[in-house]
Amino acid sequence: MSNIAYFPKPHVDQRPGKRERTKTANRQAILDAARKVFGELGYDAATVRDIIRRTGLASGTFYNYYKSKEEVFDALADDGARRFRPLLRAESEKAIDFESFVRGAILAYFNFVAVEQEAWRIDRPPGEQIPHARSTPEVVAVFDEVREAFARVLEREHAPPVDLDYLTAACIAVAREIGDKMLERRPVDTEGAADFAVKLILGGLPALPRL
């Protein structure tokens, strides 16, 4: 019988330290404040000072995380894209063909942005356009997710080869632009907007419903 003594492994605390928790809380406070400020004042009129006032943080603390309101907006877009990706992946996994994925993904996106932009839809100045985020890591990841889903469903359908980069860019652009217009309307009709976008992508102008 072995005489080697066995001792339990020491407990290692996997929780983030206090400093890391503070950084996370500060970053979240800035993003939460920015959502409210952009909603109340509009993106164009909002300033970094407005955001800082809403957080209660020192200006130096703000600039430890972001250098401008543009960076804050990109961070909000990045956060939204990160939270949307699981919804997009779910649509990809259940799609049986190209049409079902396009329809499911666009409707999921429209429902997501309708909730995300609630404050802007209510309070933002009439006619103000929501700026588009730059190519942040999570925004790029959404593009890649859509591209990979297109590759899978088109291969399954034995469709002729197409330029997947162009196809993905075109579909995302259609969804984004129609989504922006959808948010300006009352009531916000996610089903109707999704149906229009899908028909446009699948059939072009001849497939669109007549007014």
Q: What is 110-174 written as a DSSP string?
A: HHHHHHHTHHHHHHSPTTPPPPPP---HHHHHHHHHHHHHHHHHHHHTTPPP--HHHHHHHHHHH
pLDDT digits (tens, 9 = 90+) for 29-40: 999 999 889 888
Amino acid at 102: V
pLDDT of residue 126: 57
User: Can you tell me the distance from the alpha carbon of 68 to that of 112, in angstroms, rounded to the nearest whole number?
Assistant: 26
Greater confidence (204 vs 12) lies with 204
Q: Which tokens is 122 given?
A: 């209510």
**Domains of the chain and CATH, by start:** 16-67 (1.10.10.60), 69-207 (1.10.357)
> What percentage of the chain has pLDDT greater than the value 70?
82
Neighbour-count burial of 126, counting CB atoms closer than 10 A to its CB (0-12 exposed, 13-18 middle, 19+ buried):
exposed
